[in-house]
Amino acid sequence: MKKIFAANWKMRPTSEREAEKLFSLLARMAQKNKYRVLLASPSLFLSPLVSQKKKVVLGIQDGFYETEGAYTGEISFPMAKSAGARFTLVGHSERRNIFQEDDELVAKKVSAALRAGLVVILCIGESPSLRKKGERVTQKFLSLQLSRSLSRIPKGGEKNIILAYEPIWAIGTGKNMMPREAGKVISFLKQESQRHFGRVFPVLYGGSVDAKNISAFFKESAIDGALVGGASAEYKKLDALQSALS
Ligand code: PGA
């Protein structure tokens, strides 16, 4: 299977023009056919980017679990699907921490997104304080976060799930995990997904991936790709990433 390069722009860039400029780099990367290139786009830019008909697989970063109704400010997964999204992130640590999303809410969103026909990239990862408690405690936490976040998947939904392992202490901090260590945790998550759901989900690593370290992550056989935040949302950094991968 080709490795996945998934960009997560978060709440960036400010204008559609900048988004198109950044997107042209992703489109170039996708054109080379070496990797599967995905973009979790800010919802506002989804339609204009979809209309460019490039090889980049487009998705959104979050959505609400109801299909429609009086939920001011929210967007639904069926809306995203009809605008051309093929996947969504769910349970990103910024959603869990800043917007207080718990496993139960995440599970409802996962279920709604799968029912809408989207692939779900479920984000999980431990906090720095938990990591300090050691490997056993961390593994227990990750296993529980995984099973709880996926407690409501509809029948057959397993085949549309990808995991992103993102240790919270590594997100946006420049402190990436050592690739071998990430590979170890990811192998554990694959075992756990087989145990809980009878299927080995593909797993991406996320957390301070950049042009300098991406090749080392891609060399680990257990790691199916990367979810890249900061380094995918700035033209220069994304250009460097693209060169590192070509
Ligand atoms: P980062 O973010 O690459 O900026 O660390 C990754 C993510 O949050 O998905």
Contact 125, 93 (CB under 8 A): yes
Ligand 1, atom 3: closest residue by C-alpha: 229
Residues with CB under 6 A from ligand 1: 8, 166, 171-172, 206-209, 227-231
Buried b (16+ CB within 10 A) or exposed e, 192-225: bbeeebeeebbbbbbbbbbbebbeebbebebbbb
Q: Is 167 helix (H, G, I), strand (E, B) or coil?
A: coil
Ligand 1, atom 9: closest residue by C-alpha: 229
Round to whole Å and give the CA distance between 90 and 123: 6
pLDDT at 246: 84
Atom of ligand 1 nearest to the CA of 230: 4
Active site residue 66: no
Contact 223, 182 (CB under 8 A): yes
Mean pLDDT of the chain: 96
Ligand 1, atom 6: closest residue by C-alpha: 229
Atom of ligand 1 nearest to the CA of 209: 3
Give me the mean pLDDT over the 209-227 stretch.
Answer: 97
Round to whole Å and give the CA distance between 80 and 82: 5
Residues near 116 by beta carbon (within 8 Å), at least 6 away in sequence: 67, 76, 77, 78, 80, 81
> Is it the case that residue 50 has pLDDT exceeding 90?
yes
Amino acid in the structure at residue 198? G
Atom of ligand 1 nearest to the CA of 176: 5
pLDDT at 193: 97
Q: How confident is the model at residue 54 (pLDDT cuts 50, 70, 90)?
A: very high
Active site residue 92: yes
Round to whole Å and give the CA distance between 221 and 199: 18
Exactly one of 101, 126, 166, 192 is catalytic; name it. Answer: 166
Q: What is the pTM of this model?
A: 0.97
pLDDT at 45: 98
Q: How confident is the model at residue 172 (pLDDT cuts 50, 70, 90)?
A: confident
Q: Of 6, 82, 90, nearest to 40 (Cα)?
A: 6
Amino acid in the structure at residue 175? K
pLDDT at 1: 84
Contact 233, 13 (CB under 8 A): yes
- In whole angstroms, how far apart are CA 96 and each of 73, 163, 218? 18, 16, 27
pLDDT in tens, 132-166: 999 999 999 999 999 999 999 999 999 999 999 99
